[in-house]
């Protein structure tokens, strides 16, 4: 497995690539995270045949940071992240991948699906939003959630955030270090980009997709209102429930998550041939 770099729109993007002759799987992390949170997915023997790529979004991980404020207002937004990933897929010749997006990465993945042809879409801890007012219904009003939308955060706030995200176990990945390594302007400008959008149309986008879609949902994630997700009308979406996880089911219940991920992905070629 190798760490690689590629320049897209004058932004250097870092990504991990695990070679394989099977299905192509692209992993998109969440706000103030990095590609490193997908450690278990990348290292799993059960996915040894998969060709897997996990990237760092701009301002995160080992991707380029320190943009001047005049530029980062555009760069650090969900829509621009989606554009970057669409170009990334084209440049590295990773066409028609299955895309797994976690948290913010799930929202980005939904937008990527409008720009590129996908073989499948999986979102985890991502309540799809149709309009701005849905935000207050989709997320629980936690003080620690506001931490992810503010520029400057203290070590105490990071520790509190980790405790909320991991109610069942202490992660063996240094989440605090990953959060600190994120460009603080990402959080501030991403929140500002949200306030500029009256509509998101993510529910509509999912229902219009011509590929299999799954929601991998931890029902005990303190951040997400699970009842909101259950209230959405998704006739053709596979809902996979995780009961012993917080905000990171692929870390808390790694073996179960990987088993279900593998099962869903391996069914996709037949589903595409039969139904889509």
More confident site: 149 or 267: 267
* pTM tops 0.85, yes or no: yes
Tens digit of each residue's pLDDT (9 = 90 or more) over 13-58: 999 999 999 999 999 999 999 999 999 999 999 999 999 999 999 9
CATH of the domain at 160: 3.40.50.1820
Q: Given this model, what pLDDT does residue 196 score?
A: 66
Q: Span 78-95, mean pLDDT?
A: 92
Tens digit of each residue's pLDDT (9 = 90 or more) over 2-11: 899 999 988 8
Give percent of the chain with pLDDT exceeding 90: 71
Confidence band for 273, pLDDT divided at 50, 70 and 90: low
Q: Given this model, what pLDDT does residue 203 score?
A: 94
Q: How far is the C-alpha of 103 from the C-alpha of 235, rounded, in Å?
A: 22
Tens digit of each residue's pLDDT (9 = 90 or more) over 206-238: 999 999 999 999 999 999 999 999 999 898 899
Burial class (CB in 10 A: 0-12, 13-18, 19+), 201: middle
**What range does the domain containing 34 cover?**
2-275
Confidence band for 185, pLDDT divided at 50, 70 and 90: confident
Q: Given this model, what pLDDT does residue 106 score?
A: 96
Number of compact structural domains in the chain? 1
Q: Given this model, what pLDDT does residue 133 score?
A: 86
Burial class (CB in 10 A: 0-12, 13-18, 19+), 133: exposed
| DSSP secondary structure letters along 121-173 | EEEES----SBTTHHHHHB---HHHHHTTSS---HHHHHHHHHHH-SS---SS
Asked if pLDDT for residue 117 goes beyond 60, the answer is yes
Q: Under 8 Å CB-to-CB from 30, ≥6 apart: which residues?
A: 37, 102, 103, 104, 105, 106, 125
Q: Given this model, what pLDDT does residue 149 score?
A: 80
Asked if pLDDT for residue 198 goes beyond 70, the answer is no
Q: Given this model, what pLDDT does residue 45 score?
A: 96
More confident site: 183 or 66: 183
Q: Under 8 Å CB-to-CB from 170, ≥6 apart: which residues?
A: none
Confidence band for 194, pLDDT divided at 50, 70 and 90: low
């Amino acid at each position: 497995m190798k760490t690689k770099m590629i320049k897209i729109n004058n932004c250097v993007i870092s990504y991990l690539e695990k070679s394989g002759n099977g299905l192509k799987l692209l992993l998109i992390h969440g706000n103030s995270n990095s590609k490193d949170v997908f450690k278990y997915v990348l290292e799993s023997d059960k996915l040894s045949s998969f060709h897997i790529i996990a990237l760092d979004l701009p301002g995160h991980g080992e991707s380029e940071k320190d943009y001047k404020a005049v530029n980062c207002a555009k760069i650090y937004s969900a829509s621009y992240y989606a554009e970057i990933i669409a170009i990334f897929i084209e440049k590295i010749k990773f066409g028609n991948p299955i895309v797994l997006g976690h948290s913010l990465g799930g929202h980005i993945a939904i937008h990527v699906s409008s720009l590129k042809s996908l073989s499948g879409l999986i979102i985890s801890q991502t309540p799809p939003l149709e309009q701005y007012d849905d935000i207050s219904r989709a997320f629980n009003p936690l003080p620690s959630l506001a931490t992810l939308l503010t520029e400057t955060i203290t070590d105490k706030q990071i520790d509190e955030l980790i405790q909320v995200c991991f109610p069942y176990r202490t992660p063996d990945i240094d989440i605090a270090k990953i959060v600190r390594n994120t460009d603080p302007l990402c959080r501030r400008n991403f929140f500002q980009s949200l306030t500029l959008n009256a509509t998101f149309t993510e529910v509509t986008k999912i229902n219009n997709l011509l590929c299999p879609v799954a929601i991998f949902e931890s029902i005990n994630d303190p951040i997400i209102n699970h009842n909101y997700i259950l209230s959405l009308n998704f006739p053709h979406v596979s809902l996979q429930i995780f009961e012993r996880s917080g905000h990171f089911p692929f870390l808390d219940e790694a073996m179960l998550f990987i088993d279900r991920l593998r099962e869903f992905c391996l069914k996709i070629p037949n589903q595409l041939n039969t139904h889509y």
